[in-house]
Chain A
Amino acid sequence: MKICNTELIEVENLSRVITTESKPRVLFEKLSLSVNQGESLAVTGPSGSGKSSLLEILSFMRKPDSGVVRFQGQSVDLDDSIHCDQLRSNKIGIVYQTALLIESQTVLENVVHGLRYTNIDHQIWDDLALYRLEQVGLIDLQDSLVVCLSGGERQRVCIARAIVKNPVLLVCDEPTSSLDKKSAESVIEVLQKLKNDDDTALVFSTHKSSISNVCDQIIDIASIKLSEIRTNIALPAGY
């Protein structure tokens, strides 16, 4: 196991309140946590507890109601959309529960989209995409249309697209929840390999113990409401 002490992302006093049926509902309040480079964090909790909202904030897709987000030691202004776009394009990979792909395009073309807004020279895009496809075990399907793939394969394409730019942080929002057991296992295997081989920090939201058990930190978002919690590193048994 790697020991990484470089703080990658840190949030302080994060709060998020949503309005449902004209009533405000607190998803989380005064939440603080940090993830170091090469570490993994699992965010657990029941549906509607705010897991996805937290991940959206960590991937700079949504602004919190209050709190500070620091990335690589620097405070990030979430109103600065250009800076957030740059961070997402170069440093953060995102995988969603639903495999969002462009159906009419091939596996390789979809993966290359992950490099499109980066600073990486476009002449090596295909090579990088093929390397990642090999990592996720889809090299043979590079020219297949994604519409022909199974659920597990589609999710692996999404992972390949998210990691093709070699991000420092990979945010996965319930990446296995819509998959069967076998497909879920193959996705977890890919993520584990990525964590072990690269120095990528992983943040998951999940309610599956199979994922949370392989993470360095676990945070149950339902239990931290209205309380200030600093996450503790909880190494899973046998890891």
Chain B
Amino acid sequence: MFKNREWFDHIFSCSVYPAWLEFRTQSKQTITMLCILAIPLLLGLVQYSVSRTTSENINRVYDRPQDRIAIYTRGLNGEHMVTKSEAVMIDDDLSKKVNALRVGWSRDLGATYDHKLADSKIQIKEANINYLEILIKQDETSKCQLCLFKEGNYFLVGPNTDSDLFQPGDSHLLLDKQTRFGGKFNEAWRDVELSSSIVVSTHSIISRLSDSPATARWVVEFEHVPTEKEILAIRTIINPNNPVSVLVESALTENETASHIRSLLGSSSQLFRYITLFIYVGIGVISQLLTMRKKRIEVALFRTLGASVKDLILKGLAEGLLLGLGSWLICFSFINLFQGYAIAFLPHMFSPVKLFEYLLSLFVSVALCCVFVAFAILLSVNRDPADVIRSTGE
């Protein structure tokens, strides 16, 4: 215990305190260096914030119809448009990730599929040949949330927002009211008119069927960019006998799947991360090189006073710790000062920096600064102190 105390005293008085003294007394130089080192840290954290928000926005397909994945398949029966084998019945695996994908339909008359969505019971029922009920209800008396109507070869969709206005089967009323709807439902209706296809929409799923007797087409909207596994699952659901025949295309870029887009996004984010790291290392190294002569003289001076190499390296590590911690604190203060405004005014660009990201940036900052300063000290220690001191007199 006593030895530990002695060791601590030695470390403190020979390494930590001189480093602190130097850090404190060179105020202008220290503040400049801290501010410069805080810049790449700041860039890194802002990039994290922006990239996460972008990723979340891409995943929020609900608000971004251009990110829908279109799935085509060749219809097996032109007369019925949607056959049982083509029916989209989303399985539990998918529904765990995309709640509304629990919704589905079937051509089986009177067939009922029960699912749970949050606390509500979802019941999908083909009530008669003309319409399909999708009910979200607490009890039997609850009204229809969304209804899928069939008019000739068309399916029309009922609202879920104003559902209390409608009863299942009130198709005429629905059509009248449909014109009032804004947003997605309005678009859906227009789409029905223009392409003679129908759009079934909940908050999370849009299925569209063309009126071509030989082709069925669904547009499935996800709450997030679907993975390859999810896409395969959908293909299997649409055509269990031959999933490969189900074609998938992304609305984002022709012939590119959304997962590809996501991987591109990930790559660019990673590239930016490397660039930020490179800038940080560059600034760190340059700052050490600029103060190298001063550091060399100081090291020589301390060596003449009897400092060992170990003492000097420890002093360097303490100096790096202070530098890393200081620059991180500046970055932390700056982010906390402005991120509230950024998130409030530019919510589509920024999201709050998470604790993990703060801790990671602190670790990176301290570790890199310690490495830079310790390395600079090591280089200085290698120079003969007598030669360094002589050169100062010349």
Contacts and interface: CB of A to CB of B under 8 A. Distances in A.
B18 A113 contact: yes
A88 B26 CA distance: 27
A62 B297 contact: no
B112 to A, nearest CB: 82
A118 B390 contact: no
A157 to B, nearest CB: 13
Interface residues of B, number: 28
Interface stretch (B66-74, B199-207, B253-261, B303-311): B303-311
B386 A116 contact: no
A89 B307 contact: yes
Contacts, number: 76
Contact of B392 (A94, A100, A102): A100
B35 interface: no
A90 B306 contact: yes
A152 interface: no
Contact of B306 (A102, A109, A117): A117
A113 B302 contact: yes
Q: Which residue of A52, A81, A113, A116 has the most chain B CB atoms within 10 A of its CB atom? A: A116
A56 B22 CA distance: 27
A81 B384 CA distance: 12
Given A96-B389, A116-B18, A61 B304 contact: yes
Consensus secondary structure, chain B interface: helix
Contacts of A85: 303, 306-308
A104 interface: yes
A197 to B, nearest CB: 22
Interface in A15-59: 52, 56, 59
A42 B301 CA distance: 23
Interface string B271-310: 0000000000000000000000000011011111111110
B271 to A, nearest CB: 41
Contacts of A122: 9, 13
A97 interface: yes
Interface of A: 52, 56, 59, 61-62, 81-82, 85-90, 94, 96-98, 100, 102, 104-105, 109, 113-114, 116-118, 122, 161, 178
29 contacts: A52-B386, A52-B390, A59-B304, A61-B386, A62-B384, A81-B309, A85-B303, A85-B306, A85-B307, A87-B306, A88-B304, A88-B305, A94-B304, A100-B297, A100-B300, A100-B301, A100-B304, A100-B389, A100-B392, A102-B25, A102-B301, A104-B22, A114-B305, A116-B305, A116-B307, A117-B308, A118-B306, A161-B305, A178-B393
